Amino acid sequence: MKQDLQLIHQQLNYIVAELAFIKTNMQYLESTGPPLSIQQAAEYLHLSQSRIYDLVYRGRLKPLQHRKHGRILFTKETLNQYLYEKG
């Protein structure tokens, strides 16, 4: 019985930690706005879409999620960081 309670306590602690991680990530994503597509990133940076692909390939522009349903996504924070480093 005591071991069962300890196991339940450990599992609850794990769940609490995971929920805190999810909450932190959600707050971050909400603060940066929705992710931008290649087309939106190109418009935001005033570059062509092929140039965006090239920057990703060369590692100069880091996507938020490299592929989701065939799409590369970016945060505005990442795009602003690229502009800052470029300038």
Q: pTM of the prediction?
A: 0.60
* Structure token digits, residue 45: 């940076």
Higher pLDDT, 71 or 8: 8
The domain in which residue 16 lies consists of 1-32
Write the DSSP symbol of residue 74: B
SS (H, E, C) 22-46: HHHHHHHHHHHCCCECHHHHHHHHC
Judge whether 73 and 36 are in contact, CB under 8 Å.
yes
Q: What is the pLDDT of residues 73-87, one digit of tens each?
A: 898 889 999 999 887
Judge whether 34 and 63 are in contact, CB under 8 Å.
no
pLDDT score at 41? 96
The band of 65, judged by pLDDT with boundaries at 50, 70 and 90, is low
Instruction: Judge if 16 and 39 occupy the same domain.
Output: no
Instruction: Judge if 70 and 52 occupy the same domain.
Output: yes
Instruction: Judge if 14 and 38 occupy the same domain.
Output: no
Looking at the 3D structure of the chain, how many domains does it have? 2
> What CATH number has the domain bearing residue 56?
1.10.1660.10
Write the DSSP symbol of residue 71: E
Instruction: Judge if 46 and 28 occupy the same domain.
Output: no
Separation CA 49–CA 74 (nearest Å): 13
Instruction: Judge if 24 and 37 occupy the same domain.
Output: no
